[in-house]
Structure 1
């Protein structure tokens, strides 16, 4: 077979690829096999053959086996290209108020919306809802207080988006506050006689 020829994918291959593409995430091998009416051993053999066919065809996809799960994924060599192209299609950036709310939640979690509003001094329900929709914060349960208010915490997506491995990697807020204070003092101090009355 020359390089220009794509190996034929039979109907079974196409069915597997269609299901895995539609799933968009790892799918249990047992569920895939059951859904397609074959046993797990036969499914493993079919997936191995399909993995080879995808490689031979030079298609930008690969089959990943993750323990007892399988996923159709983009081949690793296309990672930089995909990140480059898709980063240009990002949704609108977070507003200043959403960033403030996110910082309050990140440094004090789990916290209630009332706690956030007490610190900010303004209604923050819209910002909290926006952060929930973007999967940056999530409900962490309800507190044992009157009204059983919802507590919020950051998500794994928050860590991923901000390049953190854990909350321990958050910048030290006291150091940032001290630096801000020093900057404010410098800007208020007259420099070398400027601003002094004669």
Structure 2
């Protein structure tokens, strides 16, 4: 399949999906090598950006998603009468920061770093789909482990967690967590 046809295939898949699509799925659907699919998606991303089109393609770790251009947000908001997502309180931002930098993290670990109860903030971040449960720690009580979600990356305009700014780790650093059992996600 030639490059322009592969770009058209990727564009159609991303438009129809409305959510992040892994590169492997695009390659499988187009019956091509993942490197070819990535080259086509990146070429499409560049062209949409260069032409200052109303849509963009975002890279989210190993997936891509089509979205409206940030420059067009006021028009999209007006046309669709969408509400702004609720703001995060300082406690929620602190909790989200701890999870983002030290994930997977238990609520007890979050509270150890913050020095206060974080149950409400963890619950609020789960409801906003910025964090998710990712298994349980293999210790007595089997506490839940939390990690950030693709919505977190999208909300903060990141392609991957590697783009988080460097921070000075706490003196006790990231604790060595005992062996964990990850739960299968559906």
TM-score when scaled to structure 1?
A: 0.47
Q: Larger % of helix: which?
A: 1
TM-score when scaled to structure 2?
A: 0.50
